[in-house]
Structure 1
């Protein structure tokens, strides 16, 4: 569920989205949905207000008999540094991009997620289900330390992520993202898209 501006200003839109979700849930059933996130990396309001809105959405779902887990997605560093707030949600929804760690090469993107990010989140939110809601690598933009954007490096990062997921099936990781987003502010942010640049068969090649 998208959120722009403050929670208060977004509430009518969020409530409409809840109704849309309930209609889809009634049509397609529970198995299609592994979780619901309210907002993504929201900086325009306090974390307490965002998580309070998560609670409100959960209450609406439970009142309708829907047990789908609810969270808000944020950077793994923000979750690590604010556990008393962001670990209150039903599950931990963390965005974790090795590209933004200047000491990690593309071929170690999966290792970064599973050896750095996941252990940090497990310490911050013990016992919570952890889902990596975004992880990928850009194909163009500015180099930052060891992080070099390119199509070969995007493939290398996604291959390593896939192999890391094979080694630890307890954590779900969602590749970011299907296509480029040219409306974003810079080439790094715009170019995480996979479709049209990479062959999915190559990404899922044998480890």
Structure 2
């Protein structure tokens, strides 16, 4: 057993967590750019549930864009999929629309369809805001969700890259979070596929170490990782179906046992590189059996 795997297994056991959400990142736009209808959301969620790991959750990037929650929540309820909701925090008008969409969804459907809410996504990585501002927005969203709307059990946190979480300038955001969502891609670090497992778990463990020091007891979710099936190489990282399969076997299967995990991504076949799990024929591009 690799040291990185041993460390993550020990961490999971020490937290006393025995069951984790298994999810995929699902965008509100179809590959052709159109917005998903309620029926298309339901098709996507049924596909998730039908894949070998039996995915139980989906991560959404926004709430108001493309009427995401208006269409996705009824589909999630119909299929039994839980949602990690995204609230886009940048630009006051957009932020207000996002909060309003989440409020409307909760008033219409209650709280049980949510597993958690992320206020923002990779804002710190992009340098688009300050830690103090983002922390304030996390508290603001939590106040609405947990206090005003009564969803006491729904955790509110933030999703960002591992490099942002280990940056000491961002500790105010960790303190504000009920959970920390961690994005880590060995592909974007120029890793070879043989190095990728150790590169990923090193990043994950560094984030966990920082979070545990700043706010002990805070869970770290794996909110984005994956390997592209097609597209351009990045350093020593080479996209291919075989490498995506190998990365799933070495990282994905272990991750599902150690943290709430959201693989990237459901459909992505129009991008370069393409990280999509589901191809144009509606079937998995590579096996997700563990």
TM-score, structure 1 normalization: 0.80
- SS at 2:277 equivalent: coil
- Matched with 1:106 is 193
Q: CA–CA distance in 1 between the matches of 2:276 and 2:181?
A: 20
1:125 to 205, 208, 211: 211
Segments of 5+ residues of structure 1 without an aligned counterpart are none
- Matched with 1:35 is 116
- Matched with 2:40 is none
- SS at 2:253 equivalent: helix
Relative to structure 1, the CA distance from residue 171 to residue 152 in structure 2 (aligned partners, 3 Å threshold; closer, same or farther) is: same
Instruction: State the Cα deviation string for residues 115-155 of structure 1 (Å, max 9, x = none).
Output: x0221012211122000101101122322232111222112
- Matched with 1:87 is 174
Q: CA–CA distance in 2 between the matches of 1:204 and 1:24?
A: 36
Could you list the structure 1 runs, at least 4 aligned residues long, displaced by more than 6 angstroms after superposition: none
- Matched with 1:11 is 95
Q: CA–CA distance in 2 between the matches of 1:145 and 1:162?
A: 22
1:134 to 224, 233, 245: 224
Contact between 1:3 and 1:10, CA under 8 Å: does it hold in 2? yes
Q: CA–CA distance in 2 between the matches of 1:107 and 1:50?
A: 37
Contact between 1:107 and 1:160, CA under 8 Å: does it hold in 2? no
- Matched with 2:278 is 195
Q: 1:200 Cα shift? A: 7.3
Relative to structure 1, the CA distance from residue 19 to residue 4 in structure 2 (aligned partners, 3 Å threshold; closer, same or farther) is: closer
- SS at 2:166 equivalent: helix
Q: 1:195 Cα shift? A: 0.1
Relative to structure 1, the CA distance from residue 59 to residue 2 in structure 2 (aligned partners, 3 Å threshold; closer, same or farther) is: closer
1:164 to 240, 245, 254: 254
Q: CA–CA distance in 2 between the matches of 1:85 and 1:38?
A: 14
- SS at 1:51 equivalent: helix
Q: CA–CA distance in 1 between the matches of 2:141 and 2:97?
A: 12
Relative to structure 1, the CA distance from residue 33 to residue 2 in structure 2 (aligned partners, 3 Å threshold; closer, same or farther) is: closer
Q: Which has the higher contact order (CA 8 A, sep 6+)?
A: 2
Q: Number of aligned pairs? A: 192
TM-score, structure 2 normalization: 0.59
Cα-Cα RMSD: 2.4
Q: CA–CA distance in 2 between the matches of 1:105 and 1:50?
A: 34
* Mapping for residues 4-83 of structure 1, pairs under 5 Å: 5-6=90-91, 8-23=92-107, 25-26=109-110, 29-30=111-112, 32-42=113-123, 43=126, 44-61=128-145, 62-67=147-152, 68-81=154-167, 82-83=169-170
Relative to structure 1, the CA distance from residue 175 to residue 18 in structure 2 (aligned partners, 3 Å threshold; closer, same or farther) is: same
- Matched with 1:147 is 237
